[in-house]
Amino acid sequence: MDGHFNKLTPAEAERLAMLAEECGEVIQMIGKILRHGYDSYHPNDPSTTNRQLLGRELTDLLAVAAALCRDNVPEGSLHDQDQAWERKLRYAHHQEELVVECP
């Protein structure tokens, strides 16, 4: 049998593994923020807040997601993201301040 049944190259599989890992790290930070707040911090590193850590994890996630263009996964344009957000707002209950634009 030639290759894997999913026909992914090792590089494609690795990028998907990286994406899954980054998604997990973002989820972990969200859990910490929900439990302790944005401005809380780890006792061993009081110089870095949960808000900053979430920003770092989101940056990592976006970097890996952008790399998926190598696998012909279309990257959404800013217009597409705006439309997606508008769609999500239809089902949100507390996002009134973000209806116009996020800074």
Residue 41's φ and ψ, nearest 5 degrees, are -150, 160
Res. 6: pLDDT tops 90: yes
- Identify the pLDDT of residue 45: 95
Q: How far apart are CA 49 and CA 68, in angstroms?
A: 29
Higher pLDDT, 49 or 103: 49
Q: How confident is the model at residue 40 (pLDDT cuts 50, 70, 90)?
A: very high
Q: Global pTM? A: 0.81
DSSP class of residue 68? G
Q: 48-99 pLDDT, tens per residue?
A: 999 999 999 999 999 999 888 888 887 777 678 888 888 999 999 988 776 5
- Identify the pLDDT of residue 102: 53
What number of residues does the chain have? 103
Q: How confident is the model at residue 7 (pLDDT cuts 50, 70, 90)?
A: very high
